[in-house]
Amino acid sequence: MPDLTRKRKKLLITGASGFLGWNLCRIASKAWRVVGIFFRHPVAIKNVQMIKADLTDFKNFQQLFREIRPNAVIHSAAASQPDYCELHPSESKKINIHSTLYVSDLCAALSIPFLFISSDLVFDGRNPPYSEKSPINPVNLYGEQKVQAEEKILESYPESIVCRLPLMFGYSKGANENFSSGMIRSFQKGSRVQLFTDEFRTPVDAESAAGGVLLSLEKAKGIIHLGGHKRLSRYEMGVMLQELLNVSPSLIEPISQKEMSMKAFRPPDISLDSSKAFSMGYSPLEVEEGIRQMVKTMEIKV
């Protein structure tokens, strides 16, 4: 029997062991030959070739890139914790800006599609909801680094695609956990969680987000927003999860951003207007359904 996978195009995904990257690799492998790049956290994904590499080691990565010979690249690797970026500006800049531009340049040299994962944190949270044409004004270093990467990519390689993603939730077996799966672990232990009541996003489950990214790789141009349908705070999401799991409401402590010490400032409301993506065919799950699917995937009895 002929090996049909050889006829598929090859997709390189950086940050493959991250929360979004894991979902991207898993879903993309249905249509592509996927090569996933990870740095610290090795994971095994069916039908995906995983390679350990340091994206900031430009010389070695260039050689690896030539050996892989991808037909397209999704760059999801990042130093994505705002507090880390504030505390480590030079290290995070090397990852979030320098390595991003280097990968973009490699794609430009071959004229292959390059898709960059950006964030809703490029906005200041004062005039939501934000469309792709809204003015950018980041309030923390992570957001500033994403803005710089966006601008430099689109200037040097205008054919690039920039997907701005919101707060994501869900479960990725073996990959990095996120706040929602961590919240479930806390509930299972009977531990209280503190959740902001005054930070609003348009959250989306990571599987829907990954589907939107792959759709954007096929259809989008320039900047596109991949937010969810509903504006919610982390506290409201926590209540949804608490009610679904039927745990005590006392396990959730509502808290204001002002009550918690953080190195990086968080904007109050960075809800995204994703109508452009919706018209393209992007159809994320409603948050309630996404939460139910997460609980089902984690095999938690409710």
pLDDT over threshold 50, residue 1: no
283-296 residue pLDDT tens: 999 999 999 988 88
Q: Check residue 258 and give its pLDDT.
A: 84
Identify the residue whose tokens are 């009541």: 197
Mean pLDDT to the nearest integer, 228-240? 95
DSSP string, 80-142: --HHHHHH-HHHHHIIIIIHHHHHHHHHHHHT--EEEEEEGGGS-SSS-SB-TTSPP--SSHH
Domain residue extents for the chain: 9-169+205-229+272-285
12, containing H or E segment: strand 10-14
118-172 residue pLDDT tens: 999 999 999 999 999 999 999 999 999 999 999 999 999 999 999 999 999 987 7
Contacts of 26 (CB under 8 A, 6+ apart): 45, 46, 48, 210
Cis peptide before 129 (omega within 30 of 0): yes
Query: What CATH code would you report for 9-169+205-229+272-285?
Result: 3.40.50.720
pLDDT over threshold 70, residue 202: yes
Q: φ and ψ at 253, to 5 degrees?
A: -110, 110
Q: How confident is the model at residue 266 (pLDDT cuts 50, 70, 90)?
A: very high
* Closest by Cα among 220, 215, 115, 129 to 166: 129
pTM: 0.94
Q: Check residue 99 and give its pLDDT.
A: 97
Could you give the percent of the chain with pLDDT greater than 90?
Answer: 81
29-64 residue pLDDT tens: 999 999 999 998 888 999 999 999 999 999 999 999
Mean pLDDT to the nearest integer, 163-182? 82
pLDDT over threshold 90, residue 259: no
CA distance 177 to 130: 27
